[in-house]
Structure 1
Amino acid sequence: MKEPMQAEPVFKKLRGMVRSLPPGGITLSELIRRVGNEGLLILTALLTLVFLIPVSIPGVSTVFGAAILLIGVSRLFGRELWVPAKLKHRTISTSKLRPALRKALPWLYRIERVCKPNRIQWLVANGSIQHLNNAGLILGAVLLMMPFGLIPFSNTFPAVALLFLAIGLLQRDGVSVLLGHVSNVVTILYFSLLIGGGGLAVRELFNRMLG
C-alpha cells in the first residue's frame, strides 16, 4: 500500500484536531470519522501521542491500543477498518485528553522535523516490505497494551515506536520507519528485563521466607 505524501505537516493537522475536540468527551467512532479511512496513520499518530507523557487517563491504554492494533490488521490485510461497537462508541473524556495531547504535540513536532522523504527507499516501497511495516504497527500496539502501565516508560517506548512508524510511512522516510522497528525491539528487551527482574525478586522473597 503506497502512502500519499502529506501536503500539510502532520503536526499542524493534529494540532487542529486537538483544538477542535468537543467539550465533555469524544468517541473513537468520531475520531475515525474526522480523519477518514485514508487517514488511519494520522489517527495512529494521534492515538499514540497521549502515551508520550506521564499522565494516566483511565481506559485510554486499552481503547487506543486496541484501535491501533485494528488499524495495523486492516492495513496488513488491505481491508477497511473494522472496530467492535463496544469499542467504537466508548466515550473518552476530553477534559484530560486535550491537555495531555497538547503536552505531547512538541514531541511530534520534533520527530516530524527530522523526517526526510525518500531515505532508505526500499523500506517504504510497495510490496512485501509493507507487510513487515504493518506487522510492526501491530507489534507496537500489542506492546502498548501490555499490563505494565504503572512502570516508568512501559507505555512510552512502544508509543515512540508507533509514532516513528506512522510518521515514517506518511512521509515515506525509511530512516524513521527503521527507528520504529528498532524501538519495538528496545521495548521487548525492556519488558524482558522487567519480567526477569520480577522473577528474581519473587525467588529472592521465597528464599528469605524459607531461609
Structure 2
Amino acid sequence: MSHEISTRILLQQLADGSPDDDLSFDLVLDSFRHRSYGLFLLFVLIPVFIPIPAGQGAFSGLLTSLIGLQLMWQFEHPWIPKYIGRKTFKRTHIINFQRRFDPWLKWIEKLCKPRYEYAFDHAWARAFSGLLLLVLGILLALPIPLTNYPFGIIVLAFSFGFIERDGILLGLGWIMGIIEIIVLAEFSGYIIKLLEQLWAYFF
C-alpha cells in the first residue's frame, strides 16, 4: 500500500473549504478509502477534543468499539450503519481540530513513516488492535470522570498509526492501551473496596 500523504496534510485537505459546509462520514471515507480505518477513528474522536452539540460525543466510544470489532473480524474497510454514514457535520469542527492539533501534527509528521507494516496486514496483529479498541471504546463510552482525554490520546495513536502505516506508532498505542486498561482496572477495584468499606461503616 502506498504512503501518499501524512495525517496533517490529509486534515488540511479536509479543512479546505467553507466552515459552514456539511460533510458526511460516507463522503469522507469514500474520498480516503485506503486510509478509512485510521480516518474513521480520527473522526469519531473529534467530539472528545472539540465538543459538538446534541451529545454526539457520547457516540465516540461506541463507534471506536465498532471499529475494533470489524478489525477483529478482518474487514478490509470499515462498515458503518447507513444512518451514521449519512450523518452530517460542519467542516468547522475539522478546522477547529486541525488548528488545535497542528503543532502536534507537525511533530508527529517528522517522526512517522511507513514501517513494520505487517502490523496492519497480519490477521493476528489486526485482531489484537481490534480487541484493544473494543475495550478502550467501551471504557471511553462509560461516564468515568477524567478519562476522556487519556483514552482519546491513546486511540489517536491508533488512528495516526493506521493513517501513516507506522507500526511503531501502532505499537505505542498497544502499550499505552494495555497500561491504561490495567490502571483503570486497579483503580476501579480500589473504588469498589472503598465503597464496600463505607457501606459497612455506615450501615
**What do residues 53-97 of structure 1 show as CA deviations (whole Å, max 9, x unaligned)?**
4x53322241x4444444444444234432112322334455556
Structure 2 residue identity aligned to 1:159: G
2:3 alignment partner in structure 1: 6
Aligned to 1:56, which of 51, 65, 69?
Answer: 51
SS at match of 1:7: coil
Deviates more, 1:44-53 or 1:180-189: 44-53
2:19 and 2:90 in contact (8 A); partners too:
no
1:113 alignment partner in structure 2: 110
2:23 and 2:88 in contact (8 A); partners too:
yes
**1:151 aligns to 2:145 (yes or no):** yes
Aligned to 1:46, which of 21, 42, 45?
Answer: 42
**1:127 aligns to 2:98 (yes or no):** no
Change (3 A) 1:178 1:162: same
Aligned to 1:31, which of 28, 33, 47?
Answer: 28
**1:89 aligns to 2:86 (yes or no):** yes
Aligned to 1:202, which of 190, 195, 203?
Answer: 195
2:19 and 2:91 in contact (8 A); partners too:
yes
Structure 1 gaps of 5+ residues are none
1:165 alignment partner in structure 2: 158
Change (3 A) 1:70 1:60: same
Shift of the alpha carbon at 1:12? 1.0
Q: Distance in 2 between matches of 1:135 and 1:127?
A: 10
Q: Distance in 2 between matches of 1:112 and 1:51?
A: 23
Shift of the alpha carbon at 1:23? 1.5
Q: Distance in 2 between matches of 1:44 and 1:125?
A: 15
Q: Distance in 1 between matches of 2:19 and 2:42?
A: 15
Structure 2 gaps of 5+ residues are none
Shift of the alpha carbon at 1:145? 3.9
Change (3 A) 1:182 1:167: same
Q: TM-score scaled by structure 1?
A: 0.72
Shift of the alpha carbon at 1:185? 0.3
Q: TM-score scaled by structure 2?
A: 0.74
Q: Identity of counterpart residues, as a percentage? A: 18
Q: Distance in 2 between matches of 1:125 and 1:86?
A: 28
Shift of the alpha carbon at 1:104? 3.0
1:161 and 1:183 in contact (8 A); partners too:
yes
Shift of the alpha carbon at 1:106? 3.2
Q: Distance in 1 between matches of 2:62 and 2:157?
A: 18
Aligned length: 199
2:74 alignment partner in structure 1: 77
**What do residues 177-210 of structure 1 show as CA deviations (whole Å, max 9, x unaligned)?**
2101101102202321342233134223313422
